[in-house]
A and B are shown apart, each in its own frame.
Chain A
């Protein structure tokens, strides 16, 4: 609307015009006041000559109602952000009465931190359209998020920005719910992914297990069976259509083994650890065969239990073989016990024999003596005297044999003779004293080298017997064609043993007879007097003390007998304290 541009008129006309303008101004002022007080709605339009305000009386009633009733805040802003119009909803959203809004700047609702953004939004709005979200501070100071849609409008040549303000607090809540939903959906997706992975693991495992020559199965982490390979169905003859029915597989286990298998399986499920258990499983022919069952947990890359994998390996033959070995060992033990009993019986027999034979031979000797008394020498036929002598010889030999038997049976009783540290030197000297006649007779020489080991751990009585037997043999079985040289040595040997060695340059032995050498009543040289009991006794005494005897000999060269005696338990022999 432009001012009247008619040609200049009369003063009266000018006065009328002036009056009309005054009237117009008054109306405008009234209108503004009315608008300000909220009495009526108005539209203020920025014109070239300043803002022009239009009431909305004349505007299309339908649009007006729509804008007034709508649930979005609507406003028109002038160039300097003056609110030219706003609806009741906006007033409500900003907690400000309408009359404090229209004609005032919108900027007072823009908090400082949003000013820059708002300026940008406005600039874009003036350029055409813009849209954004920002916080506004309402009249009570509360901050609220708004979605703002800016749109430049032209009313004639007047331009203004129409703003639709939507409260998005509610949207925010919905967004929160949406986020939650999205999160739950994502979780579901992850679970499904895990299930898919599990299914895939089962599928992959199955593919691997299918070709295995062993029975194999898988189960879920909770223990629910998920797969059995072909070997199972082939072995049991179970129909492949019967899948994991309750106890359908368990019924193939031997009833005696089932409780233990189940116990171990429950243990696995509880602990997450693997297990091995042996059980018998029935095959298609109804025979039970021993199987080694292995249960292993299978984990994914982050260590979670994905499934259980199990196998059954046929160990039937192996198990039976083990049973046979067990049986054989049992029999061996029984045999050993029996042999031990036989040995004890034999020992008892030797004792009894030596005892019981002594009585009759003593009687025979007594009777022989009686006969001699009854047949005085001068009354005897010549033949009788030599017969009596031969009888006496036989009796003497019989008595000697009994004597040896007695020695052996004594040796058995003396098994428990206590071992202790014994000085070798005096024992050797003592034995040499006893053997002096023999040594002299054969012209023998003895060299002694015991400095390395002057003390051995043995029963003194037995040590004397060992030294006596070895030395007397060494001299007895000398080679008559060369000077008899015997040496006795003692030295530490491996594993804490002490080696006592007697070496001679005598007749020597054929080593194939070693077994006989240490046998009871074995004599290898008939031309030399001997009981055949000495080496047997030596071997027995040494072995009873936990030692052993070895012989090294060459026929016509000489022999070396080495006795290995164990060191005392708990180290060296205790030193004898003076005083």
Chain B
């Protein structure tokens, strides 16, 4: 399984984060694994990562849609302002989606959708689709 330089989990549910963190650690796919509880924290962490690794990447963001402070949609808006936006691969990880939300999300540069819970199989598919080596 390929190893990604950086994976960012953005979800306000800390138990989900705990389980996903545990899974990714067990799978050993991430060089650096960070957890953000909202979009704002996620953005700050991306800036920090690219500050330390200006040409680093790619970064995989597993993004929840409903989050306090800054939700998934606003995060995607803000992400487009980052110079390194091209190096970020965003996958929406959520429970069920309202069709209206899906339509709005599709207007942004996203790599795909995954429904919770995240499993080893789903992760494997994701890596082979978006990070072929």
Contacts and interface: CB of A to CB of B under 8 A. Distances in A.
A362 B99 contact: no
A366 B98 CA distance: 24
B22 interface: yes
B96 A363 contact: no
Contacts of B99: 413
B68 interface: no
Assign chain A's interface to a size class. Answer: 10 to 19
Contacts of A367: 15, 19
A148 to B, nearest CB: 122
A112 to B, nearest CB: 119
Contacts of B19: 363, 366-367, 370
A151 interface: no
Contacts of B15: 360, 363, 366-367
Contact of A358 (B22, B95, B98): B95
A406 interface: yes
A359 B22 contact: no
A355 B99 CA distance: 13
A355 B101 CA distance: 13
Interface string B7-19: 0000001011001
B22 A370 contact: yes
Contacts of A360: 15
B117 interface: yes
A362 B98 contact: no
Interface string B85-100: 0000000000110110
Interface string B34-76: 0000000000000000000000000000000000000000000
Q: Which of B22, B95, B116 has the most CB of A within 10 A?
A: B95
Given A358-B116, A370-B22, A363 B98 contact: no
Interface in A325-356: 351, 354-356
Interface residues of B, number: 11
Contacts of B117: 362-363, 365-366
B95 A351 contact: no
B25 to A, nearest CB: 12
A355 B95 contact: yes
Contacts of A366: 15-16, 19, 117
A406 B95 CA distance: 11
A351 B98 contact: yes
B54 to A, nearest CB: 36
A274 B39 CA distance: 77
B13 A363 contact: yes
Contacts of B98: 351, 355
B116 A362 contact: yes
Instruction: Give the most central of A351, A366, A370, A413: most B CB within 10 Å.
Output: A366
A355 B98 CA distance: 9
A406 B115 CA distance: 14
B22 A355 contact: no
A347 to B, nearest CB: 12
Interface in A353-410: 354-356, 358-360, 362-363, 365-367, 370, 406
A368 B21 CA distance: 16
A406 B22 contact: no
A367 B20 CA distance: 11
Contacts of A365: 117
Contacts of A370: 19, 22
Contacts of A363: 13, 15-16, 19, 117
A406 B123 CA distance: 25
A216 to B, nearest CB: 68
Contact of B13 (A351, A355, A359): A359
A435 to B, nearest CB: 28
B68 to A, nearest CB: 14
B77 to A, nearest CB: 23
A295 B16 CA distance: 82
A53 to B, nearest CB: 145
B66 to A, nearest CB: 9
Interface string A51-90: 0000000000000000000000000000000000000000
A406 B22 CA distance: 29
A363 B118 CA distance: 10
A356 B13 CA distance: 12
Nearest to B16: A363
Contacts of B95: 355-356, 358-359, 362
A370 B18 CA distance: 10
A413 B97 CA distance: 13
Nearest to A364: B15
A165 B15 CA distance: 147
A406 B98 CA distance: 11
B70 to A, nearest CB: 19
B86 to A, nearest CB: 31
A376 B13 CA distance: 27
Contacts of A358: 95-96, 116
A56 B95 CA distance: 156
Given A363-B19, A370-B19, A406 B13 contact: no
A508 B13 CA distance: 48
A168 B51 CA distance: 143
Contacts of B13: 359, 363
A501 B64 CA distance: 47
B96 A355 contact: yes
A362 B117 CA distance: 6
Given A354-B96, A367-B19, 15 more contacts: A355-B95, A356-B95, A358-B96, A359-B13, A359-B16, A360-B15, A362-B16, A362-B95, A362-B116, A363-B16, A365-B117, A367-B15, A370-B19, A406-B96, A413-B99
Interface of A: 351, 354-356, 358-360, 362-363, 365-367, 370, 406, 413
Which 6 A-B residue pairs are closest in the complex by CB-CB distance? A366-B19, A358-B95, A363-B15, A362-B117, A362-B116, A355-B96
6 contacts: A358-B95, A359-B16, A363-B117, A365-B117, A370-B22, A413-B99
